[in-house]
Chains A and B, each alone.
Chain A
Amino acid sequence: MTDEIAISHLQRRKIEGRVLIPFIEACREKFGEGPTHELVIAAIRAHAATDGARWADMFGADIEGLRRVAEELWAGGGGMELEVVGQTADRLDFNVTRCRYAEFYQELGLADLGSLIHCSRDHAMVEGFNDGLELTRSQTIMAGGSCCDFRFRRKA
């Protein structure tokens, strides 16, 4: 299997999107938006949790490991630009100021699918990564925000 870093994360997501997008569009056409979204979110979340567990093994299952996931994996190869605005052992705050994942979906006119397939992974990823951590995010570039405000916290 290809090494996770050898191919950029962005390229990997584009390769996956190539088949996932037509499949999900066909489902929406057949079954309607609501049922399709439920189904896709459940399946994608399971997939994302597995990714999270694997990345915890690769980078360490703590706040510093999450920072490496964001900087090396997500932003590696130019996938996104991010600014860390705060980090302690219990929290990591960063803003994504440019997102080529969002650009990929927006260029296809499919930003709503991008939120579903791409952005919705992140919360489930954290569960698989370390279920003592959680993510809140009030906006995303994919959904039209000026930045994505990732706020990871150790659960109280």
Chain B
Amino acid sequence: MTGVLDDYLIDPEVSLLDKTRMQAQVLLPVLRALRAELGKERADAVVKQALRDWSKQLFAAIADGIEGSPRRKWAAIQKVFGEISGREVAFEIRHHDESALDIDVTRCRFAEFFRALGEPELGALLICAADFDIAAIGAGTVDLERAQTIMQGAPSCTFRYRFAPR
């Protein structure tokens, strides 16, 4: 089931939440040391740039390995990512038709973990950003807007996907 994302998951037996926790646990000591050296703002800017580039390249490389149109590539990745990330959240589908998919996430274990750590920005980089990198694969045919997230402190994450006519 997880086939297309094997390279992202490394080990499909590990839940996405545990994988993200392991990554946070190893990154944080280095990030904290860097903050002590450079100040929080500069250190966080370095990690942000590094992790954004990494995530974009990773999903773009996964998309390259999938046959078909951008829309098809997006659907293949989104299906698996939605499934593995969906296990860690409570959500409601507000609207779904040919041209739109509106989902509100009302509870998120990723956010609970990173907010308890006091590192919601790192959580946003390690997990929330993936949704946009995946949407970018559907270039021109899939658009995602998300006005707020639980990670940022909002009561829900408002995913608003818009699809171009086929």
Contact = CB atoms under 8 A, between A and B. Distances in A.
Interface residues of A, number: 27
Interface string A42-84: 1110110000000000000000000000000000000000000
B27 A23 contact: yes
Contact of B46 (A6, A16, A27): A27
Given A1-B21, A18-B10, A46 B50 contact: no
Contact of A19 (B32, B46, B126): B126
A130 B46 CA distance: 35
Instruction: Select the residue from B13, B23, B32, B50 with max chain A CB neighbours within 10 A.
Output: B50
Contacts of A12: 22
B14 interface: yes
Instruction: Select the residue from A20, A22, A24, A27 with max chain B CB neighbours within 10 A.
Output: A22
A117 to B, nearest CB: 9
A15 interface: yes
Interface of B: 10-11, 13-15, 18-19, 21-23, 25-27, 29-34, 37, 46-47, 49-51, 53-54, 126
24 contacts: A2-B15, A7-B11, A7-B13, A7-B14, A11-B10, A14-B10, A15-B10, A16-B25, A18-B23, A19-B27, A19-B51, A20-B23, A20-B27, A23-B31, A23-B47, A25-B50, A26-B47, A26-B49, A26-B53, A27-B50, A30-B46, A40-B33, A42-B33, A46-B29
Instruction: Select the residue from B22, B31, B37, B49 with max chain A CB neighbours within 10 A.
Output: B22
A13 B18 CA distance: 13
Contact of A22 (B26, B37, B54): B54
